[in-house]
Structure 1
Amino acid sequence: MMNLKKKLVPAVVGAGAALASCVPVFAEGADTTSALSSVESAMTTSFTSVGSSMTGMVGKVLPIALPVMGALLLVGFGIKAFKKVANKA
């Protein structure tokens, strides 16, 4: 039961936050067609904004993370090669 609760709570909180952000859009008009259109445009705008922010963040982190990961791989291969040579000597 606890595993289900741990998986379900973030989904419910995320859905609640998404719906809470749309409340002003629902209150905007009584016409359901225009209200749904407003919700669609608001959601599209917000998800586009989130996507561009994430892309920008990856663009900033990638130049730092790639050399670090490359150095770690190089050190790991170096240690394996040294152990292989040291055991045969």
Structure 2
Amino acid sequence: MTNLKKKLVPAVVGAGAALASCVPVFAEGADTSSALSSVESAMTTSFTSVASSMTGMVAKILPIALPIMGILLVVGFGMKAFKKVANKAG
């Protein structure tokens, strides 16, 4: 779980930095419609980047995590079944 946190923290920090850096300073009398569209496009680009990064992380983690979780479930069910059989025999 800590390994996942180590991978998610840079993505979240990167997304925060991207959001903080994409907001332009609005000058008085400036054309706000073009400024808003640039903010919108910058945010769309940064969120798309974060989403693709997270999808890539999930694609890398999933083939490792699924077999481990499967093994843990099988061992857990096996232990429960053995305890039931052992209790009935004794």
Same fold per superposition (TM over 0.5): yes
Q: Aligned to 1:26, what secondary structure does the other structure show?
A: coil
Number of paired residues?
A: 72
Amino acid at match of 1:65: A
Aligned residue number for residue 13 of structure 1: none
How far the C-alpha of 1:37 sits from its partner, in A, is 0.4
How far the C-alpha of 1:20 sits from its partner, in A, is 2.8
5 Å-filtered alignment, 1:1-89, equals 20-23=20-23, 25-26=24-25, 30-89=30-89
State the structure with bigger RCO (CA 8 A, min sep 6), 1 or 2.
2
Q: CA RMSD in A?
A: 2.2
CA spacing shift, 1:40–1:52, aligned 2, 3 Å: same
CA spacing shift, 1:19–1:44, aligned 2, 3 Å: closer
* TM-score normalised to structure 1 length: 0.72
- Identical-residue share of aligned pairs (%): 83
* TM-score normalised to structure 2 length: 0.71
Q: What are structure 2's unaligned runs of at least 5 residues?
A: 1-15
Q: What are structure 1's unaligned runs of at least 5 residues?
A: 1-15
